[in-house]
Structure 1
Amino acid sequence: MKFTDGYWQLRPGVSVLRPRVVESVEVEERGFTVYAPTGAINGRGDTLNRPVVTVRFFSPAAGVVGVTIGHHAGGLPREPRFGLHTGTDHPVTVDVTGLTASLTTGGLTVRVRLVDAWQVDFLRGDEVVTSSTERSVGVVTDGQGRAFVHDRLALGVGETIYGLGERFGTYVKNGQVVDVWNADGGTASEQAYKNVPFYLSSAGYGLFVDHPEHVSFEVGSEVVSQTQFSVAGQSLTYHVIDGPTGKDVLRRYTALTGRPARVPAWSYGLWLSTSFTTSYDEKTVTEFIDGMAERDLPLSVFHFDCFWMRQFHWVDFIWDPQTFPDPAGMLRRLHERGLKVCVWINPYIAQRSYLFEEGRQAGYLVRNPDGSVWQWDKWQAGMALVDFTNPDAVDWYAGKLKALLDMGVDCFKTDFGERIPTDVVWHDGADPQRMHNYYSYLYNRAVFELLERERGEGEAVLFARSATAGGQQFPVHWGGDCESTFVAMAESLRGGLSLAASGFGYWSHDIGGFEGTPDPAVFKRWIAFGLLSSHSRLHGSGSYRVPWAYDAEAVDVLRHFTRLKLALMPYLAAVAEQAHTEGLPMMRPMILEFPDDPAVAHLDRQYLLGPDVLVAPVMRADGRVTYYLPAGTWTNLLSGQRLTGPGWVTEEHDFFGVPVLARPGAVLPFGTVSDRPDYPWADGVRLRLYAPTEGQRTRVRVPAPDGGPGAEFEVTYDGQVAGVSLISGESSGYTCEVVKAEGQ
């Protein structure tokens, strides 16, 4: 939100209070509070009719500095709040001199100037990382009498900002206005399903605004040299998170807000959907699955989208008896074929659903201020909303899902959760503004925790669309409704990279796009992108996504890239373990792995799949692609071609090719199974060295699909011969080889 008219003036009706000087400091056990009048205090008379801004500095976790800026403190507590993992067992040093007050935690220090004009510096050692300066803090009243609080942190020369959730516009956020407010806006607008009030800076720090309600960011867009963030009300709390690298920031941020859970090994295989508004029944489903098997296309999960239920009844969790007369038998037959089953759900209850009256009488539905049930006709006629702030409503909703699990369903696509009203009353008295974004957290948590209880830890997985901070704990998330074009393919990737920079470890998208029917070229190019993502799903809106509906070559392309992904499972499993234990995304923006290479700052059409595999999806029908290689010798996994960076490369690929390159010196473990993802990854593993250096010694861990200890290998290279030894764990056999360049 903008409050100024240019740099010097305020917008009509706007008034701002700013801290001018520090009057006093109160030292606490693990922090301090400064009292900053909004004008100079030269005598006692200057204290009269003089507002004071109160700013508290504290440390909720090692390497994290918290800041709370307040004006009037008499307001009622506002819920919900993000459930942060804070502690007091990390060292915190507070030092107050005549000139400054400072707090140090880990390698990060906040230093407040106590004399002259307001100045707050955040330092790593002696280096100032960012600052809040004399015009940065504002307690605002607008022309309608509404109150806001903002702060601004300085942007350095060349500093770039990333994240703020899954955003589909320009990947670098500099120059943008970003409103953190969940919306069902598709992937072709400035709106987003997954809004996260966190950004990652190329300067090696992160900024998390600890407010689940609407947060407005002006990233160099109101004051070009600063990033402003503001919330409505009388106080603002934010956390500056230290690096020094982007990966270090994400480790600390996800330790604070929660790390992604492990997901089952089978979820990494190919998912096939009925699509949305298509006509289907068990015969259709069987024909799809038979068609995949007949064409030797490995399939792991079959997904039933909305119309597994009767029209106008969403959601009642009852299979449509006309199209699925024997759902339990059908699910059993699908399991006998080695498939897992996913079904579509949402948190909305149509008036025609039997659950509407049941929920209304029990008080499980969100209500208007007069006590009536909140309803509208968007999406479903007379639709109501489950109140997940009511523990009994959570149990009621979960109980309906448990019946599906008992029938044989394995997981859920938790769609929607963005269109949450703000003029309603919640069971626990929650602030409706704060609940708008936070609802997605409660909704997905309720379903994920049910799956963990019923299926066991490590066996729960969702396909979720909406999220906010902390939602990364309940994977997987997918990109939402995109068009079936190359342009939409690019915007989807930008969204995934922004979400990765926001602490989300896993991400997927609809192969071929959702809206419309992709032409064969779009579909085939998207297949490579989809199978080189953490999770891979064929899904559309009004048309099927089985490959033979496009052309015969699409079948071969899908087989080719599905088998590549399954062979990479020993590597991908280790990358997924990093997502769970460290909070590092599986699909990584280039800036995370190459922070010192200025050429990667704006790259949004390529990414790292884990630390060692570079992917540049082809987004043209003619196969032409241009991408950037950092320094070193890179090797294409498919062709064996070696390319040397740094520099730009332009290539043309047929539908079976894509730039997918091993990092210089990488040791990639390949599995020996190519028809399913959940096999013993360490058995028969092939350890391949790419452009190794003499004397290289690398340890490679291969997890076990059941969550066991797995195996760890040590690979050496003496300049001519590669050697490998099993350090720990078990493996029925393993080999090691140096991958030669094309033609050798």
Structure 2
Amino acid sequence: MRFNDGFWLLKSGVKPYFGQQVVQILPSETLDGYNLQVSTKPVKHRGDTLGGPVLSVRVHSPTEGVIGVKIDHFRGAQAFAKPDIALFPDDPPIPSVALADGDGIWSIASGDLIAEITQEPYTITFKSPTRTLTSAGPKYQAIYDVPHKWTLRSASNGSCLATDFSSNPNPAKTPELVRYVHSELNLSPGELVYGLGEQFGAFVKNGQSVSVWNQDGGTSSEQAYKCVPFYITNRNYGVFVNHPGEVEVEVGSEKVSRVGVSVAGESLEYFIIYGTTPLDILERYTRLTGRPALLPAWTFGLWLSTSFLTSYDSHTVSGFLQGMQERDCNVRVFHLDCFWMKQYEWCSFTFDPDNFPDPEGYLSAIKEAYGVKICVWINPYISQLSPIFDEAVAGGYLIQRTDGTPWQWDLWQPGLGVVDFTNPAAREWYAGKLDALIDLGIDTFKTDFGERIPHTGIQFFDGSDPMRMHNTYSVLYNQLVFEVLERRLGRGEAVVFARSSTAGGQRFPVHWGGDCESTFEAMAESLRGALSLTASGFGFASHDIGGFEGHPPPEIYNRWVAYGLFSSHSRLHGSGSYRVPWQYGEEAAHIMAKFVDTKHRLMPYIYAQALQATAKGHPIQRAMFLEFPEDRTTHYLDRQYMLGPSLLVAPVFVPEGEVSEYYIPAGRWTSFWDPSRYVDGPIWMKEIVPISEIPVWVRPGSVLCLGPPGTGRPDYDYTIGLEVRVYEIISGQTIVAEIPSGRGDEIAGYVRAIAGYNGKTDVVASQGIHVALVENHKVWV
């Protein structure tokens, strides 16, 4: 939210109350920090204490390396403010607090992170052992009373209007003033900001106004499906705003050397998260908000969709699966999109009897013939033409208006209602529909939508604040579906293919990028969205290979296939046209077969990285700066990425025959495709890339363990027939590569590469690991 007219003046009618002076500071009862009373005017004598807001500020450490700042105005409403973002849902906090005061400075030390508080003027400075990270200077914290007209923003068409708890007893009426709590943190010269969820605009967020408010806006606008109130900087810290509703973030946009954060209401809390590396920060952030769940190995194979508007008849489906199999483009998951249900009846959770007279037999035949898992499309909206709509109304399972009637509209389906997942009975009812589908042979669900959740003039069953629930709804939705699959199929076998999410939603993967066009520009948008998402605590990311809208020309299709199969999860999906490769020429099928087999061969490496995502919150697909924070050039790169720590992938975004450009960091890197080709970085590569290729480079000091060629699937025994490739390790160095079994989080063994002083390495495998081939790609002597 922007309150200023320039730097010195405020917008007309805006009234600020800045935190200026600490009038009392005491250690908290739990000794995890300090409780401050901060006046919003100078206090020189007792008379100055009469009237005017006083901010209650709690500065505390919930876990090692993390310090929180909670700013409260009116505290009475907070007991009724729900939902909250669940903290420490998977891993317990690590206590680490030391308090000290002296010379007018009060300090909190949590691991290597220190917060220093001064009394007059009131400031908070956050430091590491080597430097100041950021600070909140005088007047950086405030409450604002803002005329309603200034809250209307084109980004949300005014749909995110908040209620002023203090001055609006009748929320059905538009308030004259809206109350905001606001806080700013300093941006140092050269400091860059990333994250805030799946944002499709510029990867570096400096200069942007970002609304953390989920919307269904495609990949070509400022709106996003997965907004997350967390950002990470290239200055060794991240910031998590612990607020489930709309958070408005001005990243060097209102005040160019500050990040401003505003929420409507009476309370704002944020956490500074320190780390010596960006991955350390993500590890601490995901300890706070949750780690991605363990995924089954089969999910990393190729997903094929029927597409949105295309035919699902058995002849078409069997023809596609047979054709993919014959061309060595083996499909591991077959997806049925919306029209598996009868038109106008979404969601009925019932196969359209006109197209599927025997759905159980149909699914069984496909699974037996082609060895695929089955995914079907669902959403949380119930059309009034659905045969289960009356059932939902009678049970009170839908979000209601304040008069007790179901909230409905016509935008997506006729008179649809939205399932109220805060109602335990509604959750049980919805889960029962999923159970019936699992009984038919469904293995997973594409959990579409969940962004267009009403937030004015409605009520939730549990009394949740509709504004706070708007983003959180997506987490409740995906969590329910994920947990049904986990209950039915077992831990480590559940997966959803989700579009909407927010903080904490990373616990229920996988998430894909939503509706994109079939262009190079949209391909780049999808990558930026994925890199922003994985810089926000999400371990996995996917997208519609070839683009959703339109029919891609063969060139774009082939380039996107290469990028898609070097993503954590790979799905072929479109709107009005098929994405099977022979639709784009038989050459496309040969290209796809090459990359499908390569991904299968990389599974010992990829699945090991998936285990790291579950254990530490490290994403598989990661922006270059996450791996190379010391290299300033990487801080701006958003058209290439690292797949795990070892593989640099540079998708091609230019027409055939044009020069593709990408960056190689320091060291001697080896081509994944041609071990005789290497390059010494740092260097900008400029090359014309053939249509059948994608630049993939292996980082020096890597040991890659590949499965045998021709497995035809991603889930196989990773311990047999390994090809061990050793890349540019230093003489005397020993590198260990863990080999997962591919079954849950079990590590089957290891491969150890020991570099000798003769330019060669010895490779030793633990018991149970069978190595078929060792390739030594040079040792540094």
TM-score between the two structures when normalised by the length of structure 1: 0.98
2:379 is equivalent to residue 346 of structure 1: yes
Farther-moved stretch of structure 1 (124-133 vs 157-166) = 124-133
1:216 CA drift (Å): 0.2
Which of 519, 538, 541 is the aligned partner of 1:504? 538
Q: Which residue of 2 aligns with 1:558?
A: 592
Q: State the match for 2:38 in structure 1.
A: 36
Secondary structure of the 1:710 match is strand
For 1:739 and 1:559, how far apart are their aligned partners in 2? 26
Q: Does 1:137 align with 2:141?
A: yes
Q: How many residues are treated as equivalent by the alignment?
A: 739
CA distance in 2, matches of 1:584, 1:179: 25
Q: Which amino acid aligns with 1:645?
A: G
- Which residue identity is paired with 1:433? M
Q: Deviations over 1:682-702 (max 9, x none)?
A: 211111012232222100001
Match of 2:734 in 1: 697
Give the corresponding residue for 1:85: 88
Q: Structure 1: which 5+ runs fail to align?
A: none
Query: Which of 498, 517, 523 does residue 483 from structure 1 map onto?
Result: 517
Taking the aligned partners of 2:129 and 2:251, their CA distance within structure 1 comes to 26
Structure 1 residue matching 2:238: 3-state secondary structure: strand
Are 1:725 and 2:764 matched, yes or no?
yes
Which of 52, 62, 65 is the aligned partner of 2:64? 62
Q: Which moved more, 1:299-308 or 1:84-93?
A: 84-93
Q: Which residue of 1 aligns with 2:327?
A: 295
Matched, 1:113 2:118: yes
**Which residue does 2:774 correspond to in 1?**
736
TM-score, normalised with respect to structure 2: 0.93
Q: What secondary structure sits across from 2:343 in the alignment?
A: coil
Greater mean deviation of Cα atoms: 718-727 or 31-40: 718-727
- Report what 1:687 is aligned to: 724
Question: Which residue is 1:209 aligned to?
Answer: 241
Instruction: Supply the distance in 1 between the matched residues of 2:440 and 2:396 (Cα, whole angstroms).
Output: 27
Residue 543 of structure 1 aligns with an amino acid whose one-letter code is S
2:640 counterpart of 1:636: no
The partner residue of 1:518 within 527, 542, 552 is 552
Q: Which residue of 1 aligns with 2:705?
A: 669
Letter in 2 for 1:39: K
1:165-314 matches, within 5 Å, as 165-314=197-346
Report whether the alignment pairs 1:15 with 2:15.
yes
Q: Cα offset for 1:89?
A: 5.4
1:288 and 1:596 map into 2 onto residues whose CA distance is 47
Q: Is the 8 A contact 2:181 2:266 kept in 1?
A: yes
The aligned amino acid for 1:665 is G
Question: Distance in 2 between the 1:693 and 1:111 partners?
Answer: 43
Q: Matched residues in 2 for 1:499 and 1:649: separation?
A: 27
Map of 1:358 onto structure 2: 391
Q: Identify the range of structure 1 (486-495 vs 638-647) with the bigger mean alpha-carbon deviation.
A: 638-647
Offset, 1:716: 1.1
The secondary structure found in structure 1 opposite 2:724 is: strand
Q: Distance in 1 between matches of 2:571 and 2:483?
A: 23
CA distance in 2 between partners of 1:557 and 1:299 (Å): 15
Conserved 8 A contact 2:121-2:138: yes
Alignment check: 8 A CA contact 1:723 1:736 kept: no
Q: Is the 8 A contact 1:214 1:433 kept in 2?
A: yes
* Distance in 2 (alpha carbons) for counterparts of 1:609 and 1:298: 22
Deviation at 1:42, TM superposition (A): 1.5
Instruction: Give the whole-Å Cα distance in 2 for the aligned partners of 1:621 and 1:88.
Output: 50
Which deviations, in whole Å up to 9, do the C-alpha atoms of 1:67-104 show, x marking residues without a partner?
A: 11112222242000001018665121112234011111
Cα 1:509–1:56 shift into 2, 3 Å: same
Residues 529-559 of structure 1: per-residue CA shift (max 9 Å, x gap): 0000000010000000011111111000110
Q: After the TM superposition, which segments of 4 or more aligned residues of structure 1 sit over 3 Å from their partners?
A: 86-89, 732-735
Conserved in 1, the CA contact under 8 Å of 2:724 and 2:771? no
Would you say the 8 A contact 1:724–1:735 is kept in 2? Answer: no
Worse-superposed segment, 439-448 or 653-662: 653-662
2:150 matched residue in structure 1: none
- 2:451 aligned residue (418, 428, 441): 418
For 1:126 and 1:520, locate their aligned partners in 2 and report how far apart those are by CA, in whole Å.
Answer: 52
SS of residue matched to 1:467: coil
User: How many angstroms apart in 1 are the aligned matches of 2:318 and 2:734?
Assistant: 50
Residue identity matched to 1:706 = R
- Residue 609 of structure 2 aligns to a residue whose secondary structure is helix
User: Which residue of the partner structure matches residue 715 of structure 1?
Assistant: 753
Q: Is the 8 A contact 1:149 1:235 kept in 2?
A: yes
Matched to 2:452, the amino acid is R
Query: 1:722·1:737 contact (CA, 8 Å) conserved in 2?
Result: no
Match of 1:452 among 461, 486, 493: 486
Post-superposition Cα deviations, 1:462-520, rounded to whole Å, max 9, x if no partner, equal 11000000000000000000000001000110000000100000000011000000000
Query: Is 2:375 the counterpart of 1:370?
Result: no
3-state SS of the aligned residue for 2:747? coil
What is the alpha-carbon distance in structure 1 between the residues aligned to residue 103 and residue 698 of structure 2?
A: 55
The amino acid of 1:666's aligned partner reads: S
> What letter matches 2:378 in structure 1?
I
Alpha-carbon deviation of 1:38?
Answer: 1.6
Structure 2 residue matching 1:351: 3-state secondary structure? coil
Q: Is the 8 A contact 2:182 2:261 kept in 1?
A: yes
Structure 1 residue aligned with 2:640, among 589, 601, 606?
A: 606
Q: Deviations over 1:649-700 (max 9, x none)?
A: 1111112211100001211111014311001112111110122322221000
1:163-212 deviation digits (Å, cap 9, x = unpaired): 00000000000000000000000000000000000000100101000011
Percent identical pairs in the alignment equals 50
Is residue 532 from structure 1 mapped to residue 566 from structure 2 by the alignment? yes
Whichever residue aligns with residue 475 of structure 2, its letter is Y
CA 409–285 in structure 1, closer or farther in 2 if over 3 Å, else same: same
